[in-house]
Amino acid sequence: MADLEHAEYLYELWDANWDDGPCGNYQILRHQITKKTAKRIYFTYSTGGHRDGYVDRQKIEADGEIYHGYTLRRLHLTEPEIPTRPKPQSVTELKAAMAAAHPDRGGSDEAFIVARRRYERARMAASA
């Protein structure tokens, strides 16, 4: 058996809630590389019964990632960063942004209107 300390992997960014839309519950799956040739990298899926697959070695080494069409997965040579969603602004923060965008404080009419709409939407959502 391969030495697990020196094992190489292909990585996949996987959203555990993929069927409900991207909910941000990301995990990184590791698929162990079993063999490398000049044209292909062979690996074993860490999910789905540990089946074997392969990717084009030149393409993944050039781009750092590849779309594996057979399984509809995007595989990476290095661990991808887990995306983070920006925290939505609070009603208080939106109110301060609206005040700062006011034309009397150096903002433009358009910027104030946009900021006011954001504030009103957040206030209505908070009261519901």
pLDDT tens digit string along 48-96? Answer: 666 888 999 999 999 999 998 877 889 999 999 887 766 778 889 999 9
**4, pLDDT greater than 50:** no
Q: What mean pLDDT comes out for the span 114-124?
A: 91
C-alpha to C-alpha distance for 50 and 44, rounded to whole angstroms? 6
pLDDT grade for 1, boundaries at 50, 70 and 90:
very low
pLDDT grade for 3, boundaries at 50, 70 and 90:
very low
| Structural domain boundaries in the chain | 4-76, 91-127
Indicate the SS3 state at residue 81: coil
